[in-house]
Amino acid sequence: MQPKVGELAPDFSAISDNGQHITLSELRGSWVVLYFYVRAGTNGCSTEAGRFEQALPEFTNKNVKVLGISTDTEASQAKMREKCSLSFPMIPDGDKKICKAYGTIGGLMGLLGVASFQTFLIDPQGKIAMHWPKVNPFDPTKAIFEALDQLQRLEKTV
């Protein structure tokens, strides 16, 4: 079952492919884009990761951390990191605990066992602000920036 907008995002602790220890709750105070992808190194997933990397300076300016998650191994993700020159954390979820907590298992043409293309935007209080259950990996950031601009404007008026 997927967490819903307005609910506290399921917390997790994990080690990224480059050895960085990441605990979601420790990122409170920042916005977080948590994007799930199907398989490291495939065309769509590499393109999606590259788009996030290109947009990283704008995300950083808006106090947003980007995390990519798949059921791939650390080695597969490290290859994709190198191939796509990625600088944000990629989290291997081989035991599928994170993917299950977010309800993202079931991608790749309906085959079970891998994550599907989905994105969650988590607010600075740790709540899910937006969820995109179907993501175009070739243009993953446009809708995020539109929602973020709206939400950050609202945040300033409160």
pLDDT in tens, 10-39: 999 999 988 999 999 999 999 999 999 988
How far is the C-alpha of 158 from the C-alpha of 145, rounded, in Å? 20
Domain 13-157 sits in CATH 3.40.30.10: yes
**In the chain, what is the greatest distance between 2 CA atoms, to the nearest angstrom?**
45
Q: Which two tokens stand for residue 119?
A: 């994105």
Question: Dihedral through CA 149, CA 20, CA 95, CA 77, nearest 10?
Answer: 80
Q: Which has the closest alpha carbon to 28: 122, 93, 156, 125?
A: 125
Q: Is 99 an annotated catalytic residue?
A: no
pLDDT on residue 39: 82
Sheet hosting strand 64-70, strand order edge to edge = 90-92, 64-70, 31-36, 118-122, 128-132
Q: Check pLDDT > 60 for residue 109.
A: no
Average pLDDT for 102-120: 78
**Per-residue pLDDT band at 150 (split at 50, 70, 90):** very high
pTM (global) more than 0.75: yes
pLDDT on residue 59: 96
Query: Any idea which residue has 């899910």 for tokens?
Result: 128
Q: Which of 24, 32, 45, 90 is catalytic?
A: 45
Q: Check pLDDT > 60 for residue 3.
A: yes
Q: Residue 105: phi, psi to the nearest 5? A: -70, 135
